[in-house]
């Protein structure tokens, strides 16, 4: 399973104590920060006090059950092929952590039995059945005393839920389903379709895709209430935005699956932290390109082309024409820092450059693909992070984009969109930037960006998740 702005009336009335209760489920464990479907990710979920974690399961060739998401081993291990073609002993030789970060080197593919040992009172483990032998699954669950019906939830579809209900009648089962648009333009599953399907398969609730424009349109208060009035529970996946999580909780979602449960819980229950003063802050208001940050006039925006002044997130913004318009900052980026900005891409295309650097066409750059994927990289293979903007919406809307890099201590780069942590990437090597950062693109080897640019900030500090969230809320 792998977000969308809260209505301004809700944002205006935000108080931390008044929010509806939110229970988060760590998607494949705390997979934003640890390798997915590993004991490290599951334990991190519990260390952060998240309500529960989810794992995906497959059966091996010798009828053992392991935790893995993909149909092959290729993406998340140093092996290749289908898990069902290998014995457990063979799979245990693979490294399931190094792909995420050097510090997870040696992490192994866990068995479901190992994951179930983490079951505890007041918490839940969601088991998403990819390809697993149901009788063997039942046998494993029954063999673990901690895996009680109050602590274990099964996720699946019409093919396996009826069998699970028969073999484990006391355990809950949720129907996992995505949201899609039919040929006639209607969205499915409608509330009526969902209720009918849940009744037919005998599930206890629905675990519905909660991110994306279609899901935002489909899931309303009435939608959720229709499902609950029919006697079923309502759950959503996979939400990494605190804004969207708060919205879905307000609509009635009982659990929210996320890659970063600990972070979301903290963001939504703690008051916002103070923000440092930026070195650079361009508002572009009143026809000005001046820097209102602590760096003063030395870091005023140097405009090229003739960017049009248009309505921004607040006040005015620059409209970059994708031909020769740009705003250049004469500053060499330090070993740690943060760049935050608002950008409204006119369209998604290869390659809509948000920012780049004079040193190299492929270093210190952020751009948008025609697929809607926003990407930032320090260089190839270092500080490489991406986020699909289509989770939030399409072109022609404002996005708050933030990149945080820290080579001095954490050695990571992190990408945020609309206050949500999208991805983190290792920075094993320092790649020295040039003396200019150009918003809209300035390197001759890159295409220019076409869209509106507003409220550009540069900090010499790596902002925390909570600070990025606070910045997003304060500028929207």
DSSP secondary structure letter of residue 382: B
**Domains, the chain:** 8-269 (3.20.20.190), 280-475 (2.60.120.200)
Which pLDDT score, from 0 to 100, does residue 272 have? 85
Which pLDDT score, from 0 to 100, does residue 391 have? 82
pLDDT by residue (tens digit) across 365-415? 999 999 999 999 999 888 999 999 988 888 999 999 999 999 999 899 999
- With beta carbons less than 8 A apart as the criterion, state whether 307 and 320 touch: yes
pLDDT higher than threshold 80 for residue 353 = yes
Which pLDDT score, from 0 to 100, does residue 440 have? 98
- With beta carbons less than 8 A apart as the criterion, state whether 376 and 391 touch: no
pLDDT higher than threshold 90 for residue 70 = yes
Confidence of residue 318 (pLDDT cuts 50, 70, 90): very high
Strands 399-406 and 385-388, bridge-based pairing: unpaired
Rounded Cα–Cα distance for residues 224 and 218 (Å)? 10
Whole-prediction pTM: 0.77
- With beta carbons less than 8 A apart as the criterion, state whether 355 and 451 touch: no
Rounded Cα–Cα distance for residues 380 and 220 (Å)? 42
Mean pLDDT, all residues of the chain = 94
- With beta carbons less than 8 A apart as the criterion, state whether 212 and 390 touch: yes
Radius of gyration for the alpha carbons in the chain, expressed in angstroms and rounded: 23
- Within 8 A by CB and 6+ apart from 122, the residues are none
Q: What average pLDDT does range 100-106 have in this prediction?
A: 94
pLDDT higher than threshold 90 for residue 17 = no
Type and span of the H or E element at 46: helix 39-47
pLDDT by residue (tens digit) across 227-286? 999 999 999 999 998 889 999 999 999 999 999 999 999 888 888 899 999 999 999 999
- With beta carbons less than 8 A apart as the criterion, state whether 177 and 208 touch: yes
Confidence of residue 361 (pLDDT cuts 50, 70, 90): very high
In the three-class reduction of DSSP (H, G, I as helix; E, B as strand; rest coil), residue 155 is classed as strand
Which pLDDT score, from 0 to 100, does residue 475 have? 87
Q: What average pLDDT does range 452-467 have in this prediction?
A: 97
pLDDT higher than threshold 90 for residue 137 = yes
- With beta carbons less than 8 A apart as the criterion, state whether 423 and 328 touch: no
Q: What average pLDDT does range 461-474 have in this prediction?
A: 94
Please state the φ and ψ torsions of residue 165, each to the nearest 5 degrees. Answer: -60, -35
Confidence of residue 20 (pLDDT cuts 50, 70, 90): low
Range from 108-112, 365-369, 464-468 carrying the lowest mean pLDDT: 464-468
Range from 63-67, 123-127, 262-266, 390-394 carrying the lowest mean pLDDT: 390-394
- Within 8 A by CB and 6+ apart from 407, the residues are 335, 336, 427, 430
Both tokens of residue 167?
Answer: 């073999």
In the three-class reduction of DSSP (H, G, I as helix; E, B as strand; rest coil), residue 176 is classed as strand
Rounded Cα–Cα distance for residues 374 and 385 (Å)? 9
Count the neighbouring beta carbons within 10 Å of the beta carbon of residue 78: 13
């Amino acid at each position: 399973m792998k977000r969308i702005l809260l209505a301004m009336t809700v944002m205006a009335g935000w108080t931390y104590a008044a929010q509806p209760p939110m229970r988060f489920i760590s998607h494949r464990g705390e997979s934003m920060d640890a390798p997915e479907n590993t004991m490290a990710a599951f334990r991190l979920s519990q260390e952060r006090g998240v309500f529960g974690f989810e794992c995906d399961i497959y059966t091996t060739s010798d009828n053992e059950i392991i935790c893995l998401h993909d149909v092959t081993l290729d993406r998340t291990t140093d092996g290749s092929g289908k898990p069902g073609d290998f014995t457990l002993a063979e799979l245990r030789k693979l490294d399931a952590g190094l792909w995420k970060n050097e510090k997870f080197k040696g992490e192994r593919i866990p068995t479901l039995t190992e994951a179930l040992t983490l079951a505890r009172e007041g918490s839940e483990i969601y088991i998403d059945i990819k390809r697993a032998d149901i009788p063997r699954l039942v046998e494993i669950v029954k063999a673990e005393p901690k895996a009680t019906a109050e602590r274990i939830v099964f996720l699946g579809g019409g093919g396996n839920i009826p069998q699970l209900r028969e073999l484990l009648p006391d355990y809950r089962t949720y129907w996992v389903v995505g949201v899609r648009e039919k040929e006639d333009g209607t969205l499915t599953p409608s509330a009526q379709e969902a209720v009918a399907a849940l009744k037919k398969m005998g599930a206890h609730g629905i675990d519905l895709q909660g991110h994306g424009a279609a899901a935002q349109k489909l899931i309303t208060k009435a939608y959720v209430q229709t499902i609950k009035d029919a006697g079923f529970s309502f759950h959503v996946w996979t939400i990494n935005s605190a804004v969207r999580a708060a919205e879905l909780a307000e609509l009635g979602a009982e659990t929210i699956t996320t890659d970063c449960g600990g972070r979301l819980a903290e963001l939504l229950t703690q008051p916002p932290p103070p923000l440092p003063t930026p070195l650079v802050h361009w508002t572009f208001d009143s026809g000005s390109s001046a820097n209102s940050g602590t760096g003063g006039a030395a870091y005023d925006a140097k405009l090229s082309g003739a960017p049009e002044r248009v309505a921004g997130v607040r006040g005015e913004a620059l409209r970059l024409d994708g031909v020769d318009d740009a705003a250049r900052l004469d500053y060499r980026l330090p070993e740690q820092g943060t760049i935050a900005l608002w950008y409204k891409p006119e369209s998604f295309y290869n390659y809509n450059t948000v920012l780049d650097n004079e040193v190299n066409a492929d270093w210190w750059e952020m751009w948008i693909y025609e697929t809607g994927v926003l990407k930032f990289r320090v260089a190839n293979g270092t500080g490489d992070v991406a986020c699909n903007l289509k989770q939030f919406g399409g072109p022609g809307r404002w996005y708050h984009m933030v990149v945080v890099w820290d080579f001095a201590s954490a050695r990571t780069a992190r990408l945020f969109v609309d206050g949500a942590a999208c991805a983190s990437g290792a920075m094993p090597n320092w790649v020295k930037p040039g003396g200019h950062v150009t918003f809209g693109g300035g390197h001759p080897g890159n295409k220019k960006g076409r869209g509106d640019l507003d409220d550009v900030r540069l900090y010499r500090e790596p902002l925390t998740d909570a600070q990025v969230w606070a910045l997003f809320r304060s500028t929207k």
